[in-house]
Amino acid sequence: MNGDWLIRGRDGRLTVYLPSGDAVLCRAERGPAGPWEDVPRPVGGSQKLHPGAALGQGRDGYAHLAAWRPTVPGESGLVHSTHFRPGLAALDWVPIGHPDQKGDRTGPPAVAVDGAGRGYVFVRNGNGGVSLRNQKVKGGWSSWQNLEGHDVEGELAAVTGESGLVELYAAVPGGILHWRQEGDGKRPVRTEGVDAPVRPGTLCALATSAEHTTLFFTDTSGDLCAWRPGEKPATLLTSAGPGPVSAVRCEIEGHDCTVLAQRSASGRVAFAAYPTEQEPAGAWWTESGPRLPADAAVSVALDEHGEVVAASQSPSTGTVLLTRRKDEPGLALEAWREI
């Protein structure tokens, strides 16, 4: 899943979204901090999907999902679904087409939701740039828009700033591209990128202040870096493992902090925290929980009390583990438990 697959709904309940063969499944708490549903439910009906769905969440708590589906032999198209509340069924998958009108999959999609609750679906196009289709101000969907770019690699990182405006980051050989909306409902425009030895498939973006979003990525030397457009990338610490981090902002002992989680090289989940946008303060990893399968992923969110909660899921085993922050100083976590 590209995006945060552990989310808190508008009613305070947590939901996890899980890849499963040719479908996306969801499973939710029965009540805030309560027991979980026994059986995961498919999202969007019986439509068969390709692996690699994307997810974004709006301020209204609604989840927007996008995925590729097979159409005719050798071709695919993108579909979109909205999930309003954990206890309700998600809307059926709606076809939104192909960035090149037709053809096979061009790259993994990314989803963001603007301040008005409109979904934005980004995907690499056949020319190696980025295309966008988004929900319009007065309803319905726009036509596909070519945002240009070149040589885009790996998963895109879509994010919504505190302003409600959507931004997008993409890795290219030797650098990072950046797009940003300049106004509500407007087409994102490409701004100044940065030269950096980025590893494709390691991007994660987070809104970190009223003015900025921060992109986390791993460089080719194995360092985890943070970059805000207009600044130089800052090295934060050595990456714990090969994949992207998951990130969330929260208050820890009265301080605005960014918490990072990543499956480490040892197979456990590693956590780090530091004062938001203050990378020179430094951070360090602390590992937690059991060793996980190689395909395990981790996602962090905030629970109904604004405290850190983390989940890991493994497609090969179907196991989902969960932990929450204890009522103790620092970032102390409860024992991981299977849900």
Count CB-CB contacts under 10 A for residue 46: 9
What pLDDT does 87 receive? 82
Examine the pLDDT at 329 and tell me if it is beyond 90.
Answer: no
Q: What is the pTM of this model?
A: 0.97
195 confidence band (pLDDT: 50, 70, 90) = very high
pLDDT tens for 279-321 read: 999 999 999 999 999 999 999 999 999 999 999 999 999 999 9
What pLDDT does 29 receive? 96
Average model confidence (pLDDT) across the chain: 96
DSSP state of 279: G
Examine the pLDDT at 328 and tell me if it is beyond 90.
Answer: no
Examine the pLDDT at 263 and tell me if it is beyond 90.
Answer: yes
Examine the pLDDT at 206 and tell me if it is beyond 90.
Answer: yes
Q: Are strands 286-288 and 337-338 parallel, antiparallel or unpaired?
A: unpaired
User: Rounded mean pLDDT of 243-259?
Assistant: 95
Residues 6+ apart with CB under 8 A from 254: none
Examine the pLDDT at 324 and tell me if it is beyond 90.
Answer: yes
Chain-centre distance for alpha carbon 292? 20
**CB-neighbour burial class of residue 73 (10 A; exposed 0-12, middle 13-18, buried 19+):** exposed
Examine the pLDDT at 100 and tell me if it is beyond 90.
Answer: yes
Residue 298, token pair as written in the block = 């981790």
Examine the pLDDT at 132 and tell me if it is beyond 90.
Answer: yes
Please give the helix or strand (H or E) that residue 263 lies within, else none.
Answer: strand 255-263
DSSP state of 92: P
